[in-house]
Amino acid sequence: MNKITIGMIGCGNIGGAIVKAVNERFAANIRETVIYDLDAAKMSSIKKNFPTVREAPGIDELIALSDLVFEAVSPAVAASVLGKCVSGGKDVMIMSIGGVIGNEKLIDEARSKGVKVILPSGAIAGLDAVKAMKISGIDSVTLTTRKPPKSLKGAKYLEEKGIDPDSIKKETVIFDGAALEAIKAFPQNINVSAILSLAGIGPEKTRVRIISSPEYTTNSHEVTVKSKAGTLTALTDNVPSPSNPKTSYLAILSAISAIEDYFSSVRLGN
């Protein structure tokens, strides 16, 4: 593969980690790295460590300069970025996968145009089996997520329900419903339900349970799938990112692994 230009939209915790990996692990594949964030201080922070990184004046300009675009901002931004990349014929990796829900037609459009859309597994395991089971027919998919209260702070759903995360003193079921509603209620906390829904039976049929307790010290995700090919149970017990407790460290590593697959001619698993 010829060297490419990579564009990073969002220079926060995830974006910064990916820029670091791109410039340290994949330097042989990269011609240039272009970044954009509304917060100029975040861009400046990255440039201190990687002076050759170029700042773009806006999202449209970044996409025009890039061969592969990364989105690491929010579901609201993700849908727009995905649409612009598909229209412009630019490969794209979406980290805020909740933004894809309701915009699946863009995935179909990308397929028809030969545009690569990369949606990393994030902080869950077992998506390879889920995709295989889908061929046989899936009866049910349940995601049970367990999080410490501090990782839920600022969640729109809790504010609407008048729930103070600091008031949670014992194991408490915070949410129990369809993935479609979970994605709306916790746009920054439950991206894994979006990728699980896309790989399986959709956001309306995928059940999500979110449980919180002050005794939890990690973010865990348990996936249970019942299908005609058998039953899958997959559990990940994730260490939070040191710089952002809302993000699992594995989610960042999953994105880096997806970049490796993008550049490699050999793929392990499906």
Catalytic residues: 221
Q: How far apart are CA 144 and CA 210, in angstroms?
A: 6
C-alpha–C-alpha distance, residues 137 and 44, integer Å: 49
Nearby residues of 259 by Cβ (< 8 Å), 6 or more positions away: 18, 21, 22, 25, 26, 93
CB atoms within 10 A of CB 235: 14
> How many Cβ atoms sit within 10 Å of the Cβ of residue 125?
18
Backbone angles phi, psi at 193, to 5 degrees: -70, -30
Q: Residue 20 half-sphere exposure, CB side, CA atoms within 13 Å?
A: 13
SS3 50: coil
Give the C-alpha distances (Å, rounded to integers) separating 141 from 169, 198, 199, 260: 29, 11, 11, 29
